[in-house]
Amino acid sequence: MINFNSVREIQDLLEINNLAMSKRFGQNFLISEQAREQLISLLDLTDDSKIWEIGPGIGAMSFDIARRAKSLYLFEIDKGFIRLLNENLVSNYPNTQIIEGDILKTWKSFLNPIDIPDVIFGNLPYYISGSIIEGFIEHNFLPKKMVFTIQKELAQRLCATANNKNFSYLSLVCQLDYKIEIIKTISKNCFYPIPEVESSIIEMRLKTSEDGFCREDFLLLAKDLFAARRKTIQNNLKSGNLAKKYDIDRIFKAFSDANIELSRRGETLEIGDYMEICKKLSQASC
């Protein structure tokens, strides 16, 4: 096996196999052993663990996990990397399997509660990191843990709360089910090729979910209230999707029952307010 800390060895491996790295697929290998070890240590691996890795690349972290986990599913789009992984990893570790293609589509063939792994992790391709994480949670596909390397600014968006400029629909979606922690920021030099942006390792731990409200309503409301950030709640609601499901007066009543004024903006409401409004909405009758 090659030394994954060595740019020279990575370049040689690619050259021998007639492969090139593609900017289009957000390919930046994690060449810092310390960062890789930290990521892996967060997975809480046991010989019972079912793990999904998104974007394994040439397997810098995958070999270690394959040795220690019960199963490892690898979601990769690059045909050249898939060939290498098949030759070097899958042929030696029967507990591994590659799912070829675009993760945004391929993971959906596992959309069944019994297929939810213990942990989903990866040094994510930055151009779709937010959509990947959002997709799992929107579909109620909730592993106990998710551990990712993502762009630093995206990590800040995931953790942001009310009245912060980074607070967004994605913050609400992620915080609905997960306690999110930015474990550390990693320097650009930990990657090859060196990316333009800084990165953070984040850990997302599944929380006990709040009940008494409809999840679908929460997501619709969050999307509506961030559809146009500067618009009032009232205006966003009128043109939003929640109003296609409920009569607008019923929605307005839920806000008044929750003591939240319609002249405010969605970014000023705490996640608890969103839940409270949805609870009132399921009770409200007009």
Least CB distance from residue 102 to ligand SAM, whole Å?
4
Q: Which residue is nearest to ligand SAM (CB)?
A: 55
Nearer to ligand SAM, 67 or 165 (CB): 67
Is-contact 83 60, C-beta < 8 A?
no
Nearer to ligand SAM, 27 or 71 (CB): 27
> From CA 108, how far away is CA 266, in angstroms rounded?
30
DSSP 100-130: ES-HHHHGGGG-SGGG--SEEEEE--GGGHH
Least CB distance from residue 272 to ligand SAM, whole Å?
34
Nearest to 246 by CA among 211, 215, 266, 220: 220
- In sequence order, the β-bridge partners of residue 30 are 191
Nearer to ligand SAM, 55 or 266 (CB): 55
Nearer to ligand SAM, 3 or 241 (CB): 3
Strands (E) located in 62-207: 71-76, 96-100, 119-123, 145-151, 178-186, 191-192, 199-206
Please classify residue 8 by burial: count the beta carbons closer than 10 Å to its beta carbon, then call 0-12 exposed, 13-18 middle and 19+ buried.
Answer: exposed
Least CB distance from residue 50 to ligand SAM, whole Å?
18
Least CB distance from residue 107 to ligand SAM, whole Å?
9
Least CB distance from residue 247 to ligand SAM, whole Å?
40
> From CA 265, how far away is CA 30, in angstroms rounded?
40
Nearer to ligand SAM, 74 or 281 (CB): 74
Instruction: Using CB under 6 A, list all residues that contact ligand SAM.
Output: 25-30, 55-57, 60, 75-78, 81, 102-104, 123, 125, 128
